[in-house]
Structure 1
Amino acid sequence: MAGAGIVALVSFLSTVLERGTGRSGLAAATLLLAWSVTSVVTAVLTRCLPARLSAGGGALCVGLVVIAVGLVPLALLTRDLPTWQLLLGLHVTGAGTGIANTALGREAVASVPSDFAGVGSGINNTSRYVGAAIGVTVVTVLALQPSTDPIAGLIAGWNTAAWLGVVVSMIGGIAAVALERADRRWQDRPTTAAHQA
């Protein structure tokens, strides 16, 4: 969900900032630093927390919900959107990305037997790249709609894609908690049956 949501959108955002809002390539790249630096710093800080707080479905849910909240200012893009609004959205989504990436990495390794930690990590990375590839395709198709005013069409398409990112991130957050609870119930089932016997 993270790859299909925020990674796909951020991959296309520099194009939108250049063509849609008239910012230079350097300005667009500098703005994107707000997302990437915040993501890295948050991931490092999250790793300093105890594992029970920084991993699991709860942490992943928090990360994805924070991403969804951060996408809201970015989904309201206009030609003259103030820089502070872009920075706000990018910082918040960056924080959510840092939390989600840390939780995903830990869960990918913790959810498999220790001998298969590399397999868990590989599945996590493959899923992320596949999600990002599909997400970039969807964002591009939504953002590049034919229009008599190419700039207005690009911005409207971007906003549609960003709102879709909000929805995808929220669904991912809900799914993370639901799946963790289902897994916990499944793991507790044999124990309960053994006690009853």
Structure 2
Amino acid sequence: MWRRPLFLVSTGGTLVTGVAVIGFLSYLPTALQLAHGISALTTALLLSAWSGMSFLTALQARRLRVRPAVLLAAGLLIAAAGALPLIGAAGPAPSWPRIALTLAAAGAGSGLINAAVTHLSIESVPAERASMGAGAGNTARYAGAAIGVAAMNALTGTLGLSTAMNTGVIAAAAIAALAALATLALTRPASSSRAS
């Protein structure tokens, strides 16, 4: 399976999503609460911009007439660009509207990713192994999320909260952008035809 570009992209894409999107955003509520003393309810309302936009975008992604690999790359790039304005979010004077808009943009990217990897995990394996493709994607996503949260904890312990958040944003955006480029490189039409 690992010799198939689509399987590599599908599993790698979900791993990167876990590390750079889910892992980082799972740590963000704690960082905001520690940095600014905001309540869990307020933090949840802020994060609903991300989850709500992710849900709506995933629902509408079927209207886009592009290959799932291109959709995955676009989602990774949007998530990367959407995360960058979070630099300074753990600083002394955050802009709550900026954080909400940033989370909404990152959520749109996440929605495209979710829509794409669902198709890719099935398409990347023979029909009789569809459940294996889906299982590999889910495993990669959870492993990536665990790595992302652990990395943010390690950064915070080493660099302090504000610096760790800024470093985490830059690292997550860079990882997502590199994964988007790798996705496009591995799934060029010629590569896709050789894999099938």
- TM-score of Structure 1 vs Structure 2, range by shorter chain: 0.7 to 0.9
Deviations 1:122-176 (A, max 9, x none): 1111111111111111111112336xxxxxx211111111110010110110111
Match of 2:24 among 2, 6, 9: 9
Matched, 1:37 2:63: no
Q: 1:128 to 1:35 in 2, by over 3 A?
A: same
Match of 2:190 among 168, 171, 185: 185
Contact persistence 2:69–2:184 (CA under 8 A): yes
Query: What displacement does 1:24 show?
Result: 1.4
d(CA) in 1 for partners of 2:165 and 2:81?
Answer: 16
Superposition map of 1:91-170 within 5 A: 91-145=104-158, 153-170=160-177
Contact persistence 1:73–1:88 (CA under 8 A): no
Q: Structure 1 segments of 4 or more deviating over 2 A?
A: 143-146, 184-190
Question: Tell me, which stretches of 5 or more residues in structure 2 are unaligned?
Answer: 1-15
Query: What displacement does 1:21 show?
Result: 2.1
Question: Tell me, which stretches of 5 or more residues in structure 1 are unaligned?
Answer: 147-152, 191-197
Contact persistence 1:143–1:160 (CA under 8 A): no
2:78 partner letter? V
The answer for the alignment partner of 1:74 in structure 2 is 86
1:45 partner letter? Q
Larger Rg: 1
The answer for the alignment partner of 2:73 in structure 1 is 61
Query: What displacement does 1:113 show?
Result: 1.4
Q: In structure 2, the residue corresponding to 1:79 is in which secondary structure?
A: coil
Q: In structure 1, the residue corresponding to 2:187 is in which secondary structure?
A: helix
The answer for the alignment partner of 1:176 in structure 2 is 183
d(CA) in 2 for partners of 1:144 and 1:70?
Answer: 25
2:144 partner letter? G
Q: 1:120 to 1:189 in 2, by over 3 A?
A: closer
Q: 1:167 to 1:186 in 2, by over 3 A?
A: closer
Normalising by structure 1, we get a TM-score of 0.85
Paired residues, what number? 180
d(CA) in 2 for partners of 1:59 and 1:119?
Answer: 22
Query: What displacement does 1:85 show?
Result: 0.8
Contact persistence 1:60–1:173 (CA under 8 A): yes
The answer for the alignment partner of 1:195 in structure 2 is none
Percent pairwise identity? 34
Backbone CA RMSD of aligned residues = 1.8
2:174 partner letter? V
Q: Bigger relative contact order, structure 1 or 2, given CA contacts below 8 A and separation 6+?
A: 2
